[in-house]
Structure 1
Amino acid sequence: MDPVVRESLADQAANRLWARIKSGEWPVGTKLPGETTLAPQLGVGRSTMREATRQLAGRGILVARQGSGVFVHSVDEAGAEWDLVLKRADIDAVLEARLAVEGEAAELAATRRTPADIKAIQSALRLRAKRRSEISELVDADIAFHRSIVSASHNEVLQGLFDTMTPRLRSAMAEMLNMAKDFGDDHDHAIHAHVVEAICARDADRARSLTRAHLRDLMGAMRSST
């Protein structure tokens, strides 16, 4: 039986905002209202609104212009064929993509992170620690944690790739956790904590190697279970 994947609040907000864009409320080239205006309209918090905006930017619908705001770039998703590839990708392919994106992001985050980035990463890690007993909650918390590290890389291309991958990543993670006998144990959480320690210590090599080793371990576990 296929796992039931709960649509996150950010996904829901992104889809509602996209529907309003497609309706013509904001034509291509138009600047969107600020997140403090949009968030209450969509019934979500500012952080969720921010994530929804990032998702739509990753899908080619919005574009952020530094110092100017967020603008409508297209009514249709960019790279529809690429999106189909992602949807068809199996778990192994998703993990391989994560190796490339998250390994590099962790290395860059260790050298570029700001005090605000560290605060956001540590907050995401604490939230992840609290949401390890239920699959859908762990999936959302884990994605938010890894997104905080990608954000700390301050590389817009890596951020866009991660956001584009997020829907398929969420589905793949749910599939993996449903296949696993155990999930969210203390050892798993400790691995994530060690990555945070490396980023805080500006140890770029260790942050990258720990991230890649963790993902390779997941790949090995999945291959041995099939």
Structure 2
Amino acid sequence: MTTRTQRLVDILTARIQEGVIRPGERLPTEGGLVETYGVSRTVVREAVARLKAAGLIETQHGRGSFVLARPSTTGFEPEPRDLRDVLDLLDLRMGVEAEAAGLAADRRTESALTGLHQALESFARAAAHPSTAVNADYQFHLRIALATGNRYFGDLLGSFGPSMIIMPRERLHPRRPDFATIVTEHENIYAAIERQDREAARAAVRVHLSNSRARLLAAQT
């Protein structure tokens, strides 16, 4: 049974998807949502929290909640069938995400940087929890895309979903000794974006995904 919170999430997601509320625009106030949809403030707060967790909005203290990305309606979902497909997906990611990191370094806001750091910390803490690590890794890469301020990057990575991390799973098992190395690669990406070094951010992503490719191939031998 769909809860009132989920119904409100679905309504707001649809309004963002249809362009009624565009990226960069503010959501209606909490009181406005209560009045418009006839729900409690608790429902509104829970719905906003879910939209924030999904990477669709960010909340700015004293200003309200703002749309970050428009959900994709086409749903490009990578479904690698074999090693060649996984490697091809990594190639695609390298091209897209290296450029996204460069733009994020140029354009990131303090709010976006905070969200990126939170995702990094979640990933680093997930050493004993593979599924948590996969989701945190995906959120880290998605937040880089959202930090570009260009909704198409967010749309593309949003349509990939965590499957872009889950498929080459051999390279992301947190109990492997190289998990600390993978965390360091993420830290290097974050550091370059934080100091707004465009070329270093691009390079850090290329290093990370090149190493991911190498780890995946090594796991096959």
Question: What amino acid is the match of 1:155?
Answer: N
Structure 1 residues 115 and 69: alpha-carbon distance in aligned structure 2, compared to 1, 3 A threshold: closer
TM-score, structure 1 normalization: 0.65
Match of 2:48 among 29, 46, 49: 46
Question: What amino acid is the match of 1:92?
Answer: L
Query: C-alpha separation between the residues in 2 aligned to 1:148 and 1:94?
Result: 19
Query: C-alpha separation between the residues in 2 aligned to 1:68 and 1:107?
Result: 23
Gaps of 5+ in 1: 1-12, 55-66
Question: What amino acid is the match of 1:112?
Answer: R
Question: What amino acid is the match of 1:49?
Answer: L
The yes-or-no answer on 1:160 pairing with 2:162 is no
1:1-226 superposed matches below 5 A: 46-52=48-54, 54=56, 78-79=73-74, 82-83=76-77, 86-88=78-80, 90-174=85-169, 176-177=171-172, 182=176, 185-226=179-220
Gaps of 5+ in 2: 22-26, 34-38, 57-64
Report the more deviating stretch, 186-195 or 43-52: 43-52
- Which SS does the other structure have where 2:176 is aligned? coil
TM-score, structure 2 normalization: 0.66
Query: C-alpha separation between the residues in 2 aligned to 1:109 and 1:30?
Result: 23
Structure 1 residues 219 and 69: alpha-carbon distance in aligned structure 2, compared to 1, 3 A threshold: closer
Query: C-alpha separation between the residues in 1 aligned to 2:111 and 2:55?
Result: 20
Question: What amino acid is the match of 1:209?
Answer: A
* Structure-2 residue corresponding to 1:61: none
Query: C-alpha separation between the residues in 1 aligned to 2:212 and 2:67?
Result: 39
- Which SS does the other structure have where 2:196 is aligned? coil
TM-aligned CA deviation for residue 177 of structure 1: 3.1
Aligned-residue CA RMSD (Å):
4.1
Matched positions, count: 190
